[in-house]
Amino acid sequence: MIRRRVLWAVAVMAGLAIVGPFLPAYPLTLLTQALILGILAMSLDVLLGYTGLPSLGHAGYFGVAAYAVALLATERQVGLLGCAAAGLALATLTAAVFGIIAIRARGTYFLMITLALGMVVWGLAFRWVSLTKGDNGVSGVARPELGTLSLSAPLPFFYFSLVCAGVAFALLGLLVVSPFGLGLKGIRGSESRMEALGYNVWLHKYLAFVISGAFAGAAGVLWAYYNGFVGPTDVQLLTSVEALLMVALGGPGTLVGPAIGAGLIVFLKNFVSVYTKRWLLILGAVYIGVILFAPHGVVGALRGRRR
């Protein structure tokens, strides 16, 4: 089963790599955006799908890393490796601090605490004008260079994002099939049973929280270079809600599902909005339909039909 999934993932990655040069600039940038947000959705799936912890503050780690890259690249002219290391470290540190507060709660209380912590990050981004430029944001983030290769054109940056998404998928895939990942699934099923078996439930949940924040930071690093601009909108509640919708739409607990959900929402948002300003209503209707007729997401529905 695992070998077949790996082969499917490699086939999809190879197909995207082959199709990339033949796509116009606009679909190529949308596909790049879907890859970046797919990393964000997969990182949230570690919490929601595998540990059973729904979070509404995931945009905080995404935005913290993006701001770190934007400020270092524009004001200090730091290169790709330095910006990426700083963004990942800051996102991981933020998740480590927030996790100590949030993991103490359960259920709805956990959801509300993550919402409050995410709003703290948004408030800092909006009010700390001397650092974050407030509502104006940080603009002028140039695409980096990877050795002698410039990533300024859409196609090279697409390939760079594709490689990063593939690495993230592989690392998270190894995580969820490891004994630690199986422990997370057990905690999702029954915390009391896992405690009775001798597992340190709090430590498992805390490490899952930190790892999830670190991968969200990786998505934030790519987003800063992709968008060329970082502002309070990148850390607002809507970004966290969209990530949650991506996981629910594609199928929690699958990794592939959140990636598919990210692609669906990106293309729905950009193509449907061309024809109507009510695209949020259409997206909401699609989400309600999935919840009613495919509560385990698109991937869950396909697996159920196959069985």
Q: What is the pLDDT of residue 172?
A: 93
Residue 251 has pLDDT above 60, yes or no: yes
Q: Output the six-digit token pair for 78.
A: 């730091």
Q: How confident is the model at residue 2 (pLDDT cuts 50, 70, 90)?
A: low
Q: Decide: 46 and 176 in contact? Cβ < 8 Å.
A: yes
Q: Output the six-digit token pair for 147.
A: 């050795």
Q: Output the six-digit token pair for 50.
A: 């595998």
What residue spans of the chain are helical by DSSP H?
A: 2-19, 25-45, 58-75, 80-102, 107-127, 129-132, 154-177, 179-189, 191-196, 201-227, 237-250, 256-267, 273-275, 279-293, 297-306
Q: How confident is the model at residue 150 (pLDDT cuts 50, 70, 90)?
A: confident
pTM of the model: 0.93
Q: What is the pLDDT of residues 159-210, one digit of tens each?
A: 999 999 999 999 999 999 999 999 999 999 888 899 988 899 999 999 999 9
Residue 241 CA from chain centroid, whole number = 11
Q: Give the mean pLDDT of the chain.
A: 88
Residue 64 has pLDDT above 70, yes or no: yes
Q: How confident is the model at residue 1 (pLDDT cuts 50, 70, 90)?
A: low
Q: What is the pLDDT of residue 203?
A: 93
Residue 301 has pLDDT above 70, yes or no: no
Q: What is the pLDDT of residue 86?
A: 96
Q: How confident is the model at residue 303 (pLDDT cuts 50, 70, 90)?
A: low
